[in-house]
Amino acid sequence: MTNTSAPAAPHRRGVINRLRTFPVTWMVVGTVLVFLTSAVSTAIGAESGPSGMALMALTGMAAGSAFYVLTMRVIARRRIPELARRAAPREALAGLGIGAAFVMASYGIVLVAGGYSIDWAPRDVGKTLMLAIAVNASAAVIEELTFRGLLFQGIERLGGPKHGRWIALTVTATLFGALHIMNPGATLWTSFAIAVEAGVLLGAAFLWRRSLWFVIGIHFAWNVIEGLLGIPVSGHRNPGLFITTVHGSGVLTGGTFGLEASLVPVIVSIAIAVPMLTATARQRSTVSDDRMTS
C-alpha cells in the first residue's frame, strides 16, 4: 500500500511560502503594522504634554522601523539594501540638503513676491525644537517606510522590470496625495499639489538613489523647516520659532493649508524631480548597455 500524503506536505509549504513572499502580502501586512504602531503612539502622545508627545513620536518611529525590518526579512524574505547602514550618513545628509534647499527656495520665492511676512516668535526655543524634530522625524520615517519602502517596491515588483517603476511612481504619488485630502483645510487642489510636489519628488528621489535614508532626509527637512518657519504643514499648524503671516492669493501662498498648497513648490519640485528621473533613466540605459556588451 502506497503513501500518497507525503508529497503533499512539501507542496503545501511551497504554496504557503509563495503566498507569504508575494508582494501584496508583505505590502499589506507591513503597512498595517507600521501605520498601526504610529497611530497608537500618536494617540497616546496627544494626551501628553510636549515631552510626552515627543517621546511617543520617537517610540512610534522605532516600533514602526522594527516592524518594517521584520516584515521584509521574515515575510518577504528579502534583504533591505534601501536601509544599508554604511550609506546612511551620506544619503541622509544629501537628502537633508535637497529637502532644505527645496523648502527654502519655495519659501523665498513667495516671500520675495510679497506673499509672506516673517517675525520671530518668542517661545521656549529648546522645547519647540525638541517637539518639531521628534514629531517630524517620526512622520518622515513612518510615511517613507510605508510609501517608498513597502508600497513602491511592492508595486514595482508586481509591474515587472520594464514598466514597474513608472507604475509604482504613479500609484504611490496619487495615493500619497489622495490620503492628504483628510487633512484640515484640504481640497482637491491640495491633494493634487501634494501628489506632485511630494509623491512625484520623493518617488523620483527613491528611484534615483534607491535609499530610504535619502528620501527620509528630504521629507524630514521639508516638514521641520516649514513648521519652524511658522507655516502649517499640510494643514497642521504646530508651534514654530517664527510666525509667518500670509498676504494675498492662496495660489501664491497656499493660504491656511500651508506652503504645499502654493503653486510655487509644485513648480520647484518638478524642476528637482526631472533631473532625478533623467539620471534614473540613464542609469538603466547604462546597465542595459553593459549587459549587452558583457
pLDDT, position 124:
87
pLDDT, position 247:
95
Question: What does the alpha-carbon distance between residue 268 and residue 117 come to, in Å, rounded to a whole number?
Answer: 21
Model pLDDT for residues 44-68, shown as the tens digit of each residue = 988 888 889 999 999 999 999 999 9
Q: Is position 256 within any domain?
A: yes
pLDDT, position 11:
63
CA-to-CA separations, 21 to 9, 164, 253, in angstroms, rounded: 18, 18, 46
One pLDDT digit (tens) per residue for the chain, 294 residues: 455 555 556 666 677 778 888 999 999 999 999 989 888 998 998 888 888 999 999 999 999 999 999 999 999 999 999 999 999 999 999 999 999 999 999 999 999 999 999 999 877 899 999 999 999 999 999 999 999 999 999 999 999 988 999 999 999 999 999 999 999 999 999 999 999 999 999 999 999 999 999 999 999 999 999 999 999 999 988 889 999 999 999 999 999 999 999 999 999 999 999 999 999 998 876 544 444 333
CB atoms inside a 10 Å sphere around CB 125 = 10
pLDDT, position 290:
40
* Radius of gyration for the chain, computed over Cα atoms and rounded to the nearest angstrom: 21
Q: Is position 158 within any domain?
A: yes
Q: Is position 82 within any domain?
A: no
Q: Is position 282 within any domain?
A: yes
Give the torsion sign (CA, 208, 66, 151, 101).
negative
Question: What does the alpha-carbon distance between residue 248 and residue 229 come to, in Å, rounded to a whole number?
Answer: 18
pLDDT, position 81:
96
pLDDT, position 292:
34
Question: What does the alpha-carbon distance between residue 190 and residue 59 come to, in Å, rounded to a whole number?
Answer: 30
- Number of domains into which the chain is organized: 1
Q: Is position 49 within any domain?
A: no
pLDDT, position 289:
40
Q: Is position 35 within any domain?
A: no
Model pLDDT for residues 169-220, shown as the tens digit of each residue = 999 999 999 999 999 999 999 999 999 999 999 999 999 999 999 999 999 9
pLDDT, position 291:
41
CB atoms inside a 10 Å sphere around CB 271 = 12
pLDDT, position 288:
44
pTM over 0.85: yes
CA-to-CA separations, 144 to 32, 96, 242, in angstroms, rounded: 14, 14, 27
Q: Report which of 6, 215, 241, 27 is spatially closest to residue 118, judged by C-alpha positions.
A: 241
Q: Are 139 and 34 in contact (CB under 8 A)?
A: no
Q: Is position 275 within any domain?
A: yes
State the virtual CA torsion across 150, 154, 156, 157 in degrees, nearest 10.
140
Q: Is position 77 within any domain?
A: no
pLDDT, position 117:
96
Range of the domain at 210: 87-287
pLDDT, position 238:
84
